[in-house]
Amino acid sequence: MSETHAETTRFVRTEMLAEQDPPITEKGVVKWTRENLFSGWLNVILTLLSLYVIYAVLSALLPWFANSVWTAESLEGCREALGEQGLTGHGGACFSVITERWNQLIFGFYPTELYWRPILAFVIFLLGIAPVLFQSMPRQALWASLTAPFLVYWLIWGGSLWGPIITAAGFGVGALAYVLVGKAAGNIVGTISAILLPILFWLFVTGPFVAALSGVLPLEITKVESNDIGGFMLALIIGISGIILSLPLGILLALGRQSHLFIINKVSVAFIEIIRGVPLIVWLFTASLLLNYFLPPGTNFDLMLRVIIMVTLFASAYIAEVVRGGLAALPKGQYEAADALGLDYAKSMRLIILPQALKISIPGIVNTFIGLFKDTTLVVFIGLLDPIGLSNAIRATTEWNGIYWELFIFIGLMFFIFCYSMSRYSIFLEKKLQREHR
Amino acid sequence: MKKSVFLGALTIAGLAAGAGSAATLDDVTARGTLNCGVTTGLVGFAAPNANGEWQGFDVGVCRAVAAAVLGDPTAVEFVPTTGQTRFTALASGEIDMLARNTTWTFSRDVDLKFEFTGINYYDGQGFMVPRELGVSSAKDLDGATVCIQTGTTTELNLADFFRTNNMAYEPVPIETNAEAQQQYLAGACDVYTTDASGLAATRATFETPADHVILPEIVSKEPLGPLVRHGDNEWGDVVRWTLNALIAAEELGVTSANVEELAAGTNNPEINRMLGTEGELGAMLGLDADWAKRAIMAGGNYGELFETHIGENTPIGLARGLNAQWTEGGLLYAPPFR
């Protein structure tokens, strides 16, 4: 060992130094800002520009929101209230129009004393849909969910409870026919009778049955005409019915398109291509204008029902293509494995193919649903008073003539809430169903 | 316009079917409500209030007919219609009458097979300019920039007017009335032109309406009136004479306030015939004797309807102008009740 070295060493540290904080420029906010916002002359310029834009937008918007008037009776009143604060008519928002017409924007012309009915219907809808959406709910609750559509219909439109009950019984007839006839005469006859018998039941038995039962025990609540339904209630009824009905129809169409049976295949292809190849607004015009001519005069075929049917058909064509994408993405081995297990078509689809295909298609399906929900605003062109239609009608009163932004902001916000929830649910579902980590 | 002709062609196809069930009056009586087509919203003419009740000048006509036929001015099912759906809705029988600021034109009357039952508002295209421009006549507008809705008859009327007066103009094309309002206020154009009633309604929404003037010239004829299907003359008569009763009532001084009193009998035989104390006019229409009395009580006579919804005391502030009685220099002229 060298002596020299020992002599030159004057100081030997015997203990560790305490840890030091990193330099101020290398930590926390400063570091993040330097790295992300000011890491070069171009970024400095862009940051400053962005800051200026944000400032410009906020400095215009924030006072507008902060000074908004909530209690005036008319636009004139709003302007007066703003004038008292020394502001011009553009100095503050006039959200009084929302507070004054809130009920109308939500319920349309639904009778005020019956507002509890659509609200209760909405709660029942949420309760009914919960077991479908979340698997953690008890599975038995699904049976209760089946009754929800009939209850919701009854609560919204009113009339005798027997109507929905007997209509629901029609489905029971179908299920019974499928089981009994299927056992006795084979699968195909069973399926056909499961479709035919309920239709006959609805056509010929329902009317007299309902009349007879209502005679014995009325169970009646006030009837409300479709004409009186408007605003977000209308958008929700059309949107939700379209969503719920179009999913099964779309899946059937997608399977039909994959089918090797000539007629089923060609009919599905023709249906999908024709419906998808024409703009929704044209179908809505067809529903509102052309159908009137094809139906015998005097037939009162509810316009809202016609719109729901058209929206459902339109969405189902899109869903069909989305699901077909999912089916196509499955490796061929899955189909072969299902066959190798000896499963018949229905079982292989239900147990093996569809669960995987639908999982793949979730983002596309939800995308279609969000589009469908927003497309309900197109009904304004056929004279239905959805939120946009009502905003025009509200603007046509002398009190609120000349008001634009406040209404549109409110409507936009409401739509955003619904669409964003759907999008979050889609993400939740995708995460839950993720199997790649296994 | 092209679109409505196309839809009209469809309409004709349906009419053959629609006309089969002609007796609208019986249908309405049996149903107990009148299905009346209105706009989805036009200031002063038809709009739902905060309680969802429809109100307005055109709505008043619907209510008068419902009162005359059914005895209840509230027994009306208002069907909001758009420019595209209005004619099909009427032709297909979805509505019994249309009271939706619809201009009476040759092609609508003849080609689309409708029956205009009179005119409840004489409109026409006008001009609005900022007061500070100092313009007092449309003839001074040479070289002006004009905000105009594209694809409408107003565009053609404007071109005609400027050509016949040897003036130049620069059009600023816009899509909707809402956009026009913003553009005009922002100074993108010197002049805004559309129907005079629309101009008045638009001006009423401005923060300072007095800073804008509507010029006196009217450059087109837009007679607006209720219409019914061709081929059901009995129903057409009911609507026509209900409107005439409202107009005649104003001329004869019958108002909603004094109609009860006058219906007891007066010295004026025409009032007596109209209100059913003399003659059989109601029975000739297929209604009872009190029909006109109820129509007038529904919302008042023509003048009262005008004053309540679009007259000078409302924010819209329309002057009677052409819509005054013929005795006061206007065009309203109800045929005699005899």
Q: Which two tokens stand for residue B319?
A: 């002057």
pLDDT tier at A42 (50, 70, 90 boundaries)? very high
Minimal-distance CA residue of chain A relative to B8: A289
Distance from C-alpha of B53 to C-alpha of A108, rounded to nearest angstrom: 11
Condensed to tens digits (0 to 9), the pLDDT of residues B145-195 reads 999 877 667 888 899 999 999 999 999 988 777 778 878 988 899 999 988
pLDDT for the residue B17: 43
CB contact under 8 A, B20 and A297: yes
Element of type H or E holding B199: helix B196-204
- Of the candidates A399, A390, A405, the residue with the CA atom closest to the CA atom of residue A65: A405
pLDDT tier at A237 (50, 70, 90 boundaries)? very high
Interface of B with A in 27-46 (CB under 8 A): 39-44, 46
Nearest 10 degrees: Cα torsion A208, A210, A216, A221: -140
Examine the domain organization and report whether B238 and B210 are in the same domain: no
Number of domains observed in the structure of chain B: 2
Q: Is A292 on the interface with B (CB under 8 A)?
A: yes
Domain-ending residue, one of B220, B253, B269: B220
CB contact under 8 A, B315 and A401: yes
SS3 B162: helix
pLDDT for the residue B192: 93
**Residue B318: its chain A contacts at CB < 8 A?**
none
CA–CA min distance A283, chain B (Å): 14
CB contact under 8 A, A104 and B50: yes
Examine the domain organization and report whether B240 and B213 are in the same domain: no
Q: Is B271 on the interface with A (CB under 8 A)?
A: no
pLDDT for the residue A138: 83
CA–CA min distance A292, chain B (Å): 6
The CATH architecture annotation of domain A226-433 reads Orthogonal Bundle (1.10)
Examine the domain organization and report whether B183 and B87 are in the same domain: no
Q: Which two tokens stand for residue B271?
A: 């009032």
Residues with Cβ within 8 Å of residue B203, at least 6 apart in sequence: B128, B209, B212, B214
Q: Give percent of chain A with pLDDT exceeding 90.
A: 48
Number of Cβ pairs closer than 8 Å across A and B? 109
- Of the candidates B14, B318, B315, B299, the residue with the CA atom closest to the CA atom of residue A295: B14
Position B291 in a domain: yes
Q: Is A225 on the interface with B (CB under 8 A)?
A: yes
Q: Which amino acid is at B266?
A: T
Examine the domain organization and report whether B17 and B154 are in the same domain: no
Instruction: Return phi, psi of residue A92, to 5°.
Output: -155, 155
Query: Are residues A365 and A319 in contact, defined by beta-carbon separation less than 8 angstroms?
Result: yes
Condensed to tens digits (0 to 9), the pLDDT of residues A260-316 reads 999 999 999 999 999 999 999 999 988 888 777 777 666 667 889 989 999 999 999
CB atoms within 10 A of CB B298: 25
Decide which of A423 and B41 is more confident.
A423
CA–CA min distance B284, chain A (Å): 27
Examine the domain organization and report whether B105 and B230 are in the same domain: yes
Nearest 10 degrees: Cα torsion A393, A396, A401, A404: 30
CB contact under 8 A, B52 and A227: no
CB contact under 8 A, A112 and B89: no
Condensed to tens digits (0 to 9), the pLDDT of residues A357-404 reads 999 999 999 999 999 999 999 998 888 889 998 988 898 888 888 888
Condensed to tens digits (0 to 9), the pLDDT of residues A171-187 reads 888 888 888 887 887 77
Distance from C-alpha of B8 to C-alpha of B30, rounded to nearest angstrom: 29
Distance from C-alpha of A105 to C-alpha of A83, rounded to nearest angstrom: 28
Examine the domain organization and report whether B34 and B89 are in the same domain: yes
Distance from C-alpha of B236 to C-alpha of B28, rounded to nearest angstrom: 13
Give the strand pairing for B144-149 and B191-195. parallel
Distance from C-alpha of B76 to C-alpha of B90, rounded to nearest angstrom: 15
pLDDT for the residue A10: 76
Question: B16 pLDDT exceeds 60?
Answer: no
pLDDT for the residue B269: 92
CB contact under 8 A, A393 and B80: yes
CB contact under 8 A, B82 and A290: no
pLDDT for the residue B8: 46
Q: Is B97 on the interface with A (CB under 8 A)?
A: no
Domain-ending residue, one of B220, B255, B290: B220
Q: Is A383 on the interface with B (CB under 8 A)?
A: yes
pLDDT tier at A51 (50, 70, 90 boundaries)? very high
**Nearest Cβ partner of B40 from A79, A290, A385?**
A385
Minimal-distance CA residue of chain B relative to A99: B50
Residues with Cβ within 8 Å of residue B274, at least 6 apart in sequence: B245, B248, B249, B252, B254, B281, B292, B337
Distance from C-alpha of A365 to C-alpha of B322, rounded to nearest angstrom: 59
- Structural domain including B242 reads 2-122+223-328
Which 3-state string (H, E, C) describes chain A?
A: CCHHHHHHCCCCCCCCCCCCCCCHHHCHHHHHHHHHCCCCHHHHHHHHHHHHHHHHHHHHHHHHHHCCECCCCCHHHHHHHHHHCCCCCCCCCECHHHHHHHHHHHHECCCHHHCHHHHHHHHHHHHHHHHHHCCCCCCCHHHHHHHHHHHHHHHHHCEECHHHHHHHHHHHHHHHHHHHHHHHHCHHHHHHHHHHHHHHHHHHHHHHHHHHHHHHCCCEECCCCHHHECHHHHHHHHHHHHHHHHHHHHHHHHHHHHCCCHHHHHHHHHHHHHHHCCCHHHHHHHHHHHHHHHCCCCCCCCHHHHHHHHHHHHHHHHHHHHHHHHHHHCCHHHHHHHHHCCCCHHHHHHHHHHHHHHHHHHHHHHHHHHHHHHHHHHHHHHCCCCHHHHHHHHHCCCCCCCCCHHHHHHHHHHHHHHHHHHHHHHHHHHHHHCCCCC
Residues with Cβ within 8 Å of residue A188, at least 6 apart in sequence: none
Q: Give one DSSP letter per residue of B259-272, joined into a string.
A: HHHHTT--S-HHHH
Q: Integer distance in angstroms from the first to the last C-alpha of chain A? A: 59
Position B252 in a domain: yes
Q: Give percent of chain B with pLDDT exceeding 90.
A: 58
pLDDT for the residue A29: 87
Distance from C-alpha of B63 to C-alpha of B70, rounded to nearest angstrom: 10
CA–CA min distance B327, chain A (Å): 30
**Nearest Cβ partner of B85 from A108, A289, A401?**
A289
pTM of the model: 0.84
pLDDT for the residue B253: 94
Q: Give one DSSP letter per residue of B218-246, joined into a string.
A: --S-EEE--EEETT-HHHHHHHHHHHHHH
Condensed to tens digits (0 to 9), the pLDDT of residues A308-346 reads 999 999 999 999 999 999 999 999 999 999 999 999 888
CB contact under 8 A, A383 and B88: no
**Residue A380: its chain B contacts at CB < 8 A?**
40, 82
SS3 B335: coil
What is the longest distance spanned by two Cα atoms in chain B?
62
Give the strand pairing for A159-160 and A220-221. antiparallel
CB atoms within 10 A of CB B232: 20
CB contact under 8 A, B94 and A285: no
Average pLDDT taken over every residue of chain B:
87
- Of the candidates B77, B98, B96, B78, the residue with the CA atom closest to the CA atom of residue B87: B98
Condensed to tens digits (0 to 9), the pLDDT of residues A148-207 reads 999 999 999 988 888 888 888 888 888 888 888 878 877 778 888 888 888 888 888 888
Q: Is B185 on the interface with A (CB under 8 A)?
A: no
Examine the domain organization and report whether B112 and B241 are in the same domain: yes
Q: Is A398 on the interface with B (CB under 8 A)?
A: yes
Distance from C-alpha of A80 to C-alpha of A327, rounded to nearest angstrom: 62
- Tell me which residue has tokens 């001519």: A293
Distance from C-alpha of A61 to C-alpha of A55, rounded to nearest angstrom: 10
Condensed to tens digits (0 to 9), the pLDDT of residues A95-138 reads 999 999 999 999 999 999 999 999 999 999 999 999 888 888 88
Q: How far is CA B178 from CA A110, A401, B86, B192, in A?
A: 28, 10, 22, 12
Minimal-distance CA residue of chain A relative to B31: A298
pLDDT for the residue B145: 93
Q: Which amino acid is at B6?
A: F
**Residue A224: its chain B contacts at CB < 8 A?**
none
pLDDT for the residue B92: 84
**Which of A233, A301, A398, A399 best probes binding to B when mutated, by most B CB atoms within 10 angstroms?**
A398
Examine the domain organization and report whether B146 and B198 are in the same domain: yes
Q: Which two tokens stand for residue A136?
A: 């953690």
Examine the domain organization and report whether B144 and B24 are in the same domain: no
Q: Is A394 on the interface with B (CB under 8 A)?
A: yes
Q: Is B179 on the interface with A (CB under 8 A)?
A: no
Q: Is B83 on the interface with A (CB under 8 A)?
A: no
Examine the domain organization and report whether B116 and B178 are in the same domain: no
pLDDT for the residue A371: 94
Distance from C-alpha of B333 to C-alpha of B310, rounded to nearest angstrom: 20
CB contact under 8 A, A396 and B47: yes
Position B337 in a domain: no
Q: Give one DSSP letter per residue of B275-324, joined into a string.
A: HTSSSSHHHHHTS-TTHHHHHHHHH-SHHHHHHHHTSTTSSS----GGGS
Please give the DSSP secondary-structure letter assigned to residue B254. -
Mean per-residue pLDDT, B221-239:
93
CB atoms within 10 A of CB A359: 15
Average pLDDT taken over every residue of chain A:
88
Examine the domain organization and report whether B80 and B68 are in the same domain: yes
Interface of A with B in 46-105 (CB under 8 A): 75-76, 79, 88-89, 100-101, 104
Q: Is B18 on the interface with A (CB under 8 A)?
A: yes
pLDDT for the residue B3: 47
Distance from C-alpha of B311 to C-alpha of B250, rounded to nearest angstrom: 15
Examine the domain organization and report whether B108 and B228 are in the same domain: yes
Decide which of B101 and A55 is more confident.
A55
**Nearest Cβ partner of A398 from B17, B92, B314?**
B314
Phi-psi region of A158 (alpha: psi -120 to 50; beta: other; left: phi over 0): left
- Of the candidates B38, B17, B35, the residue with the CA atom closest to the CA atom of residue B25: B35
CATH of the domain at B36: 3.40.190.10
